[in-house]
Amino acid sequence: MSITRDQASVAAANIFDVSGLATLKHQAKAGDPASNKAVAKQFEALFLQMVLKSMRDATPHEGLFDSEQTQMYESLLDQQLGQVLGGSNRGTGLAAMIEAQLSRQNQEPQPFDAPLPLQPAGPAFSLPQQNKMLPLLQLPISSPLPLSSSSVPRVPMAPVSPRPATPSSVPSVVSLPDQVAVSAVSAPAPTFSPAAASAAQRAFVHRLLPAAMAAEQKTGIPAHFMVAHAALETGWGKSEPRRADGSPSFNLFGIKAGTNWHGSSVEATTTEVVAGVAQRRTERFRAYGSYAEAMNDYVQLLTNNPRYATALGTREPARFAQRLQSAGYATDPLYAAKLERIIDGGALRQALTG
């Protein structure tokens, strides 16, 4: 019984199809040459899933509807897309190269218990040649490059312990074209950084930073904490409440216009969580003449209201965010986690240093 094209497509059609993968595994163990194509498509699908995951990780997640549940469904969607793209007839071309490699390996298999030939058909090293090659094979692997002094955090690379290599221990994937096979020894140590800051995010941070630094002297709260708070409330300036004529209200922190507010105000739609249920409401928010005026009002709110006394002077992102939420600043149960993620995120760090 050989695996057909329809069976191979079914095995790659659904990420939850365990039976299809089990059938493919059985056919591969039986040495069926037709299973090479299906196996190669599975490897291509895994590669595409890694690419999609890297693209998803590089995208900012500070959205209104972002949560652990949406991230889970996005992960499932990416896995399914990888399976569909990898299982298509065209794909990226990686499956064809892997299939050719597997086909070469399966040609004329050597019996497991057969004795080694005295004179192998392929090229072999003579004893003097082996003595010349041994020092080269025992050279230590180069250590990772030093980390950059940039303020953007980078993931340190663990040192690789050197070990002697033999022709039989080299995996067969090195025979693939150079465009596909990547050497982990000769290439520089890869560095990973969070999502890069966009031009709009950099402009938003640079616009608020002077007023935030002045507010830091009054509250003891780090300036970039307050910039991150404004980024969360306004979506990096994209969702700032606007007046009826379309001009900005300069409301950075979502402060509502209560009965004790005697200045100008604007109406805007907001989301409030009541009894665990998100509700869309139209509320009145304070309007200011400048961002500096909005920052000063934010400082007065924190310093004059005893509820926020524990947040003043806090220099730890998690503690600052949690104390704001505990004081009732917002009704979103994930408010503290979202604020902490922006404070520690790469977009804010790069915008501050760029």
For the question of residue 6 being annotated catalytic, the response is no
| CA 4 – CA 15 distance, rounded (Å) | 19
Burial 159-168 (b: 16+ CB within 10 A, else e): eeeeeeeeee
| CA 262 – CA 297 distance, rounded (Å) | 13
DSSP 207-246: HHHHHHHHHHHHH---HHHHHHHHHHHHTTTTT--B-TTS
Q: Which two tokens stand for residue 200?
A: 């709009």
Q: Mean of the per-residue pLDDT values for the chain? A: 73
Q: Which of 44, 99, 240, 297 is catalytic?
A: 297
For the stretch 7-65, pLDDT in tens is 444 444 566 565 666 666 766 666 666 677 777 777 777 777 788 778 877 777 666 66
For the stretch 296-312, pLDDT in tens is 999 999 999 999 999 99
Domain ranges of the chain: 1-107+176-181, 199-353
Q: Which of 233, 272, 283, 340 is catalytic?
A: 272
> Across residues 95-118, what is the average pLDDT?
62
**Which class is domain 199-353?**
mainly alpha
This prediction's pTM: 0.47
For the stretch 188-206, pLDDT in tens is 333 334 567 899 999 999 9
| CA 141 – CA 122 distance, rounded (Å) | 28
DSSP 297-324: HHHHHHHH-GGGGGGTT---HHHHHHHH
Q: Which two tokens stand for residue 46?
A: 């895994």
Q: Name which of 131, 349, 118, 60 is nearest 228 in CA terms.
A: 349
Q: Which two tokens stand for residue 353?
A: 């240093």
Q: Name which of 271, 207, 265, 261 is nearest 233 in CA terms.
A: 271
